[in-house]
Amino acid sequence: MAWSVLSSSVGKKLGMALTGMIFYGFLLGHLVGNLLLLRGDGGQAFNAYAAFLAEHPLLLPVEMFLLAALCLHIYLAIMVTLENRRARPVRYQHLGRFGGGTWASSTMIYSGLVILVFLVLHLRSFKFADRHDGTLYDLVTSSFHQPAFMGGYVLAMAVLGFHLYHAFQSAAQTLGLGAHRVRAVGVVLCLLLSCGFGFLPVFLGVLSR
């Protein structure tokens, strides 16, 4: 039954909206935890938070749930993009010139690919990295002391902001939510997340040195 719903155009967009909202919730929670990096206590609170998560019995089930949601979101995004291109052979950039779409909407598939690559590199750099007997805080701060790493992270957060903005508007429209208030909420959330995550490497790599 669930798969038959997702096979329709409306079902695909609904699935994308719901899985996208899941990651909005995850990012907000992740940002709250990462803000412990700003406490100036040498990483004690952040390391304690990281240890709590690593030892929590629900960590693996939650990670599997997020992985399944991510795979479904990517699959549906590809299917919707292909359907849109078959139904509208003129490239989105041409439509944008005449008011048929926005720059953010026309580049969603590309910003999504950038975010996916960033996610893989992020997990490799922090979650699965060899800490050389140091703490996660030590690894994070040493990574952000590298200008190229810090700059790439900030750039990725800018791309994330564009992606999140259109994703929220599109999801709200699919779920039938009001336009004006939702647009304001979407702007606030995308700025909060992209600027919040983007500020962390700047603070650790430049301001706190």
- pLDDT for position 174: 78
- pLDDT for position 99: 37
CA 27 to chain centre: 6
pLDDT for 178 beyond 80: no
Domain ranges of the chain: 2-207
What's the mean pLDDT when you consider all of the chain? 85
Q: Of 83-87, 88-92, 190-194, give the lowest mean pLDDT range.
A: 88-92
For the segment 144-155, what is each residue's pLDDT rounded down to a tens digit? 999 999 999 999
Confidence of residue 86 (pLDDT cuts 50, 70, 90): confident
In this prediction the pTM is 0.86
Q: 11 burial class (0-12, 13-18, 19+ CB within 10 angstroms)?
A: middle
For the segment 102-134, what is each residue's pLDDT rounded down to a tens digit? 555 678 889 999 999 999 999 999 999 887 778
CATH classification (class only), 2-207: mainly alpha
pLDDT for 96 beyond 50: no
